[in-house]
Chain A
């Protein structure tokens, strides 16, 4: 790959990085990452992946920008309110790095479109905050053999783990979605905005590590942090033989759309 003078400067800190270098940057430039949800987690992830020069970034989100998003969804600005999130995100990515090819899907990820959409990507970032789609992403990735980063945030806490085919999946740990009535509406729970940045950035780092093959991914480990105490803990988890999707006797053999609390459909 021939780099222009501008690109040499743009990616110079990656070129300097021994584990990445020119070869690693080429892998990043050829990489295709799908971000599900252009919200709290997807926003920082998209910005860092764009800055890194990921060749293709897909963004799927059916929402429009709302004032209540701006406290944490840093890819959207005040002037974007009422604009589709995928358009707002694409505009910022293009401004940050015109090398990136942005593919937008202004829709929800469902059992009908999931496998068709994810097939074109190397790695997925789960940037949703509702359980039905989290389980859908997990199942689609397990069934299609795609790696992905799970992320969840709540109040002052965050959790993330990375799946690659063969490692423990999200269902290995959490088995099935909590009953919809056990989940409070998102406006009741709340989250400190910067927590989304902390977690989405970890997810972006995992995507870049996957693309470049550098280091050890967060597989078979669930990273949990509590920002009130600012403590981080990694819990070893292993593949669960009772896992409904990749256990010894799978019961989930096709994709399922679970029910969820109404508010969670709208606000990420």
Chain B
């Protein structure tokens, strides 16, 4: 179990860590292309979503493209 903060809200995940791409799916983001992610204040490159691991205590912001787009 680990606790992380996504968009200012606490989330509990069953495992001690999770791949960022799995977390994206867990948060019902249908199009990962349409979200920009900040992990502990640093932006994660879109091609690193699969290789980035999220651990207990991490803070994330999912920032969606807005302006005619879809999340």
- Chain A residues at the B interface, C-beta cutoff of 8 Å: 128-131, 134, 151-154, 157-159, 172-175, 178-179, 182-184, 186, 188-189, 222, 224, 233, 235-238, 240, 242, 261, 264
Name 20 extra pairs, CB < 8 A, besides A157-B64, A178-B33, A183-B70. Answer: A130-B68, A131-B69, A134-B67, A151-B67, A153-B66, A154-B64, A157-B66, A173-B36, A175-B36, A175-B45, A178-B69, A182-B33, A182-B34, A182-B70, A183-B68, A233-B7, A235-B38, A235-B61, A237-B38, A242-B43
**B68, A264: Cβ atoms closer than 8 Å:** yes
**A235, B63: Cβ atoms closer than 8 Å:** yes
Distance of A179 Cα from B63 Cα, bound (Å): 16
User: Separation in Å of the A75 CB from the closest CB of chain B?
Assistant: 19
**A154, B69: Cβ atoms closer than 8 Å:** yes
Distance of A233 Cα from B64 Cα, bound (Å): 13
Chain B residues in 8 Å Cβ range of A157: 64, 66
Interface centre among A178, A189, A233 (most CB of B within 10 A): A178
Q: Is the interface of A mostly helix, strand, loop or mixed?
A: mixed
- Chain B residues at the A interface, C-beta cutoff of 8 Å: 7-8, 31, 33-34, 36, 38, 41, 43, 45-46, 61, 63-71
Within the complex, which residue of B33, B61, B68 is in contact with A189, where a contact is CB–CB below 8 Å?
B68
Within the complex, which residue of A128, A173, A237 is in contact with B67, where a contact is CB–CB below 8 Å?
A128
Distance of A62 Cα from B66 Cα, bound (Å): 22
Within the complex, which residue of B65, B68, B70 is in contact with A174, where a contact is CB–CB below 8 Å?
B65
User: Separation in Å of the B51 CB from the closest CB of chain A?
Assistant: 15
**B41, A175: Cβ atoms closer than 8 Å:** no
**B66, A154: Cβ atoms closer than 8 Å:** yes
**A153, B67: Cβ atoms closer than 8 Å:** yes
User: Separation in Å of the B49 CB from the closest CB of chain A?
Assistant: 13
Closest chain B residue to A41 by CB distance? B67
User: Separation in Å of the A115 CB from the closest CB of chain B?
Assistant: 22
Within the complex, which residue of B38, B41, B63, B68 is in contact with A224, where a contact is CB–CB below 8 Å?
B63
Chain A residues in 8 Å Cβ range of B69: 131, 154, 178, 182-184, 189
**A154, B36: Cβ atoms closer than 8 Å:** no
Chain B residues in 8 Å Cβ range of A134: 67
User: Separation in Å of the A123 CB from the closest CB of chain B?
Assistant: 19
**B68, A154: Cβ atoms closer than 8 Å:** yes
